[in-house]
Amino acid sequence: MVQRELVEKRRWLTREQFVEEWAVAQVMPGPNVVNLSLMIGGRYFGLRGALSALAGILAAPLVVVLLLAIFYGSVADTNWAQGALRGMGMVSAGLIAATGIKLMAALGKNAMGLRACICLAALTFVAIAWLRWPLAWVLLGLGGASFAWAYRCLGREDLPGPGSP
């Protein structure tokens, strides 16, 4: 959802920048959407920007979700309410997966090269979705390896190559 607004509509960030910012928001503790809005709000408009971005991203959904909870509380025992909740849950799973698929296009410009990126992504997916390892381990292990590899690749890139002017 945030991806659509910031990258596709407003064009405040490119897809590559978005993935990078999102990565930081993801590994910092705290809800990632909240972190992202703090970072981007803070970047362009300072502390006040960060706070208004935070309020903006939480206020309206908070009201919606509370109203929904009050309403659901009164119908929680009915079959149709449980069905509706299940249907929406299935769609929101699709929303998240589609965001991941869209952002894959950004990997082409990564310093590590596309093949290494796909390997790392596949390993991460297996560790989380299949083996269900705790996230902290996966971030430390695979994230750490990925960081080291990117560090190496960036170093190579910075050196003037033999053919470069």
Of 136 and 162, the one with the shorter C-beta distance to other proteins is 136
Give the three-state DSSP class for 159.
coil
Name residues contacting other proteins, limited to 40-59 (CB under 8 A).
Answer: 42-43, 47, 50, 54, 57-58
Amino acid letter, 24: V
Name residues contacting other proteins, limited to 106-145 (CB under 8 A).
Answer: 106-107, 110-112, 116-118, 120-125, 128-136, 138-139, 142-143
Of 44 and 161, the one with the shorter C-beta distance to other proteins is 44
CB 117 within 8 A of CB 111: no
Q: How many residues bind other proteins (CB under 8 A)?
A: 100
Of 77 and 161, the one with the shorter C-beta distance to other proteins is 77
Q: 15-27 and 79-103 helices cross at what angle (nearest 10)?
A: 120
Name residues contacting other proteins, limited to 5-34 (CB under 8 A).
Answer: 8, 19-20, 22-34
Candidate list 45, 56, 64, 75; residue touching other proteins; CB under 8 A: 64
CA distance 28 to 146: 17
Give the three-state DSSP class for 132.
coil
163 near other proteins (CB under 8 A): no
Name the token pair of 82: 């449980």
User: Residue for token digits 């960030």?
Assistant: 13
Of 131 and 164, the one with the shorter C-beta distance to other proteins is 131
